[in-house]
A = this chain, B = another copy of it.
Amino acid sequence: MDGSRRPNRRGEGSRLRDEIVAGATAVLEDSGNEDAVTLRAVARRVGIAAPSIYGHFPDRDAMLRAVVAEAFSELDAALAAAVSEDPDDQLRALCRAYVGFAGARPNRYRLMFARYRSGEAGELNKPRATTEGLAGGDAFRRLVHAVSTRQARAASEETLQDAVALWVALHGYVSLREAVPAFPWPPEDTMLEDLLSRVR
């Protein structure tokens, strides 16, 4: 994504890249708007000159993709932590973590699933047979595993259907709750239990 990263003097070098991603994330969450994440706004936030970003990203889009990649890593880490903290009820723990993640970072969550950012057009967006290498694929496979664990049997076609249905419901829930806050939503726990009860 970055191309020519060479070792930096005084161990200070690639630190700026991380600061840029963190700054871009902060601008996104503060402004609530992907368009506000300009090179200049990020540079102001980080305290550098705007052209300095070009040392780490070839263009603005690459910077935004790095924010998305980082967010997917965080999501996966959050799900992994939830599952290992509650191994007896992995599916519930996982759903709670998913909803909690999206609720705590609504703007990052939205950006993660804005298609045109999740990869360049073309090859990456062609339909494929598995979720290998797909952005969010790790998270989805955790979901499949938690469903099959709850069902106390090996993953089957039905397991997969349940996992897709649950993912779709979770995503729909967190997206709509954010988009239509005026809707009379039930409490989060009630909603989650309802969605879980629809998994066979």
**Residue in contact with A180 in the complex, picked from B33, B113, B130, B170, CB distance below 8 Å:** B113
Asked if A116 is at the interface of the complex by the 8 Å CB criterion, the answer is yes
* Complex partner residue of A182 from B32, B126, B185, CB under 8 angstroms: B126
Looking at the complex, which one of B113, B124, B126, B194 makes contact with A176 (CB distance below 8 Å)?
B113
Residues of A within 8 A of B (CB): 32-33, 35, 113-116, 118-119, 124-131, 134-136, 140, 161, 164-165, 167-173, 175-176, 178-186, 191, 194-195, 198
* A176-B167 CB under 8 A given contacts A35-B35, A194-B161: yes
Contacts of A114 in B (CB 8 A): 179
CB distance from A60 to the nearest CB of B (A): 13
Contacting residues, chain B, for A127 (C-beta < 8 A): 181-185
Contacts of A169 in B (CB 8 A): 165, 168-169, 172
Give A34's nearest chain B residue, CB to CB. Answer: B35
A134–B184 Cα distance when bound, in Å, is 10
A106 → chain B, closest Cβ, in Å?
9
The answer to whether A179 and B113 have CB atoms under 8 Å apart is: yes
| Residues A128 and B184 in contact in the complex (CB < 8 Å), given A114-B179, A161-B194, A179-B115 | yes
In the complex, the answer to whether B168 meets A173 with C-beta atoms within 8 Å is yes
Closest chain-B Cβ to A47's Cβ sits at a distance in Å of: 27
By the criterion CB–CB under 8 Å, are A124 and B172 in contact?
Answer: no
A-B contact pairs, 21 of them (CB 8 A): A113-B175, A113-B176, A114-B179, A115-B178, A115-B179, A118-B179, A119-B182, A125-B182, A126-B181, A127-B182, A127-B184, A131-B184, A135-B180, A164-B194, A165-B194, A165-B198, A168-B176, A168-B195, A169-B172, A171-B175, A171-B176
